[in-house]
Structure 1
């Protein structure tokens, strides 16, 4: 990550430029792998519902934040069915504009549409039961990811959770010049989570994804 850290401005501006050229569709959000959307959502729902049942220490269902939300694919199919209110944050305004139509009548339960890169985004303290961060940590430098996770921790309600779901490389950090991102191995992700002062309370690998893409792991942090 050393070279990227030295040229942060270019790293972020290239990513913004890439996403501005991506069509605001589910297929666009998933890089041509639209067919995996239902597998992804079903896996995420099974993971999340472990924490939402009634009982001591369980996570509330009042408000969630969808980070790197795009057109709202995860908001529509995962978060709005489970939470009273959902906020979306994404760096591309066109995606957020599209989300208002894509979400249909349920868009009335969206609290806020924030247009911001996560490196600059400051979530409201104590607002969220769940902060869902999927397929976007590769667009943050190590230091910015650690700082963002710290801000997210302050934004949680009692018993709240931060969920990271993302590709992991087999070893080290693998840069992607096309969309100006990186893919980190699981040990590096865990070390950055630890640096942010968070603990991993549950971790799973997403199954039944195409074999040609990197493994996807889901981590619940608190």
Structure 2
């Protein structure tokens, strides 16, 4: 993948930015026309996350979460704000973050930061987060940038914190998508990049009950 992108990395990122600027700031827009799967997605994520949350040794505390590639705050609203005291959002599209301020409603008062930045450039604050949630966005990073971003995320965790990656998974290899300027990696490639970042997959599940015509979606908990 890096060979393909090395010459044109800047275009890879700018094309993706342009794509998202033309997407409507709605749940359906965030989900590529599959807004109907939002509740299934959130319910699966909640069951996954609750395995780790709580008090006591090794448990992740419900303090501060980070929503990466947050869009209008769909995951913040329905997954993170109900479980955490405060949440930060980061997304490359300012219009989405502006929309999030109204979409999140009264509970949005517990959002501390709306950060407009591509993840390849984003520097999360060291030791700030109990959970860093990264969903449907890693395909917009080159392999090297993904590894570097995961390393920065690792440094941004509090003790017993958790990084969660939830994303489409290819059946084999790396599949490019020219429409939104992204790639879809298979699980082997993804696990290799996680290991390069110095992280370990502590739990992994496949999301159930999604439409058959879309990619498999897997959720990985990393520490």
Aligned Cα RMSD in Å?
A: 0.5
Displacement of 1:54 in angstroms is 2.5
For 1:57 and 1:184, locate their aligned partners in 2 and report how far apart those are by CA, in whole Å.
30
Counterpart residue number, 1:136: 137
1:210 Cα deviation from its structure 2 partner: 0.3
Q: TM-score, normalised by structure 1?
A: 0.99
The alpha carbon displacement at 1:3 in A equals 1.1
Contact 1:5-1:141 at 8 Å conserved across structures: no
Worse-superposed segment, 46-55 or 194-203? 46-55
CA distance in 2, matches of 1:3, 1:57: 41
Deviation at 1:5, TM superposition (A): 2.7
1:191-212 CA-to-partner distances (Å, cap 9, x unmatched) read 0000000000000000000000
Corresponding residue of 2:192: 191
Match in the other structure for 1:41: 42
CA distance in 2, matches of 1:5, 1:154: 27
CA contact (8 A) 1:142 1:192 kept: yes
Kept in 2, the 8 Å contact 1:85–1:110? The answer is: yes
Gaps of 5+ in 1: none
| Consecutive unaligned residues in structure 2, runs of 5 or more | none
Q: Which residue of 1 aligns with 2:86?
A: 85
SS at match of 1:70: coil
Moved more, 5-14 or 30-39: 5-14
Report the CA distance between 1:111 and its aligned residue: 0.6
Alignment partner, residue 6 of structure 2: 5
Aligned length: 222
Contact 1:66-1:86 within 8 A present in 2 as well: yes
Measured in 2, the distance between the counterparts of 1:46 and 1:220 equals: 13
Q: CA deviation at 1:6?
A: 2.3
* Residues 162-203 of structure 1: per-residue CA shift (max 9 Å, x gap): 000000000000000000000000000000000000000000
1:3-56 CA-to-partner distances (Å, cap 9, x unmatched) read 113211000000000000000000000000000000000000000000003321
The equivalences for 1:22-33 within 5 A come to 22-33=23-34
Q: TM-score by structure 2 length?
A: 0.99
Partner of 1:107: 108
Contact 2:54 2:62 in 1 (8 A): no
Moved over 6 A (4+): none
SS of residue matched to 2:114: strand
Corresponding residue number in structure 2 for 1:176: 177
Identify the residue that residue 56 of structure 1 maps to in structure 2: 57
Tell me, in whole angstroms, the C-alpha distance in 1 between the residues paired with 2:136 and 2:67: 11
